[in-house]
Structure 1
Amino acid sequence: MSAVHLAPQATRDRAVTVKFVDSRIASRLRIARHEAGMSQEAVGKAIGLTFQQVQKYEKGSNRISPGKLAVLAQLYGKPISWFYQGLEDTTAATPPGLIELVLENRGGKRLLESYLAASPEDQVIAIDVVECLARRAARRMAQAAE
């Protein structure tokens, strides 16, 4: 059996993608725990881990196994797919004119430039923060409409 040799750029691109996915899942683990109202210590006790291990999963220091992810998803009341939300290619789903609208807005342009300058790990955090703010704004609008 012959080994597959990847070009250096392909290897770097794959490593960045894997790191991005790992960071995204780690961030989603933290969000799910907060939404469940649990401490890292409580989660650790519930699934037989130390709070330090839970912390490492949430920081992305340690990769989580599919089995542990399934256990945590059940504990948090989330489908496993929830941890992967936002990772699918959304280029085709971008509404026409959205990119132009973002670039025409001074704040949107600053946000995009800052996002692109950030590390892959920080990009994941930025996405989660902005999504959280958008959900909060949507809830407020829904409450105001009632």
Structure 2
Amino acid sequence: MSVKEILNPRKADDLDHFVAQRVRRQRDAVDMTQDQLAQALGISFQQLQKYERGVNRISASRLFQISCVLGVGPEYFYEGVDTSQFVQSPKSERSEPPQSSILSLIAQNPDATDLVIAFVEIKSPKQRQKAIDLIRLLAD
């Protein structure tokens, strides 16, 4: 697991993309434009585009709203999904949760530990942000 995956666990995955395709398919089936659906949901056209492309995840409450507007039950968006692809392995085979993975990465690198300790000692939020920006710049 990469550092980016650990730090951004909410990134859209295959199931999110599947749901996004189903949203678009149903919107097309009821002959509704993206703009019309976005307005009915009270969101921007751009946000709906991100949902339909699977760039942004759709929350459970938003998916429920979408199902109401499009005239289907929430289960519609999961019909045909291969559940074996999305069911997690038994606990003993599962990888570490993200926080444990981050701590593991820090523990494996003494420099990272020093960096975290020094960062926590920075009192100014502005200075902490500058430190983050500098480290991201150096990482690129």
Provide the TM-score with structure 2 as the length reference: 0.50
The CA deviation at 1:20 is: 1.3
Q: Does 1:36 align with 2:30?
A: yes
Residues 1-146 of structure 1 aligned to structure 2 (within 5 Å)? 19-89=13-83
Distance 2:40 2:81 in 1: 28
Larger radius of gyration: 2
Query: What are structure 2's unaligned runs of at least 5 residues?
Result: 85-140
Task: Report the alpha carbon displacement of residue 40 of structure 1 after superposing the two structures with TM.
Answer: 0.7
Instruction: Show structure 1 runs of 5+ residues with no match.
Output: 1-6, 91-146
**One-letter amino acid matched to 1:40:** Q
Provide the secondary structure at the position in 2 that maps to 1:82. Answer: helix
Instruction: Tell me which amino acid in the other structure corresponds to 1:45.
Output: Q
CA–CA distance in 2 between the matches of 1:34 and 1:23?
17
RMSD: 2.5
For residue 82 of structure 1, report the CA deviation from its aligned partner.
0.7
Give TM-score scaled by structure 1 length. 0.48
Q: Note the alpha carbon deviations across 1:113-138, whole angstroms, 9 max, x for none.
A: xxxxxxxxxxxxxxxxxxxxxxxxxx
Number of residue equivalences:
79
The offset of 1:89, in angstroms, is 4.1
Distance apart, 1:19 and its partner CA: 1.4
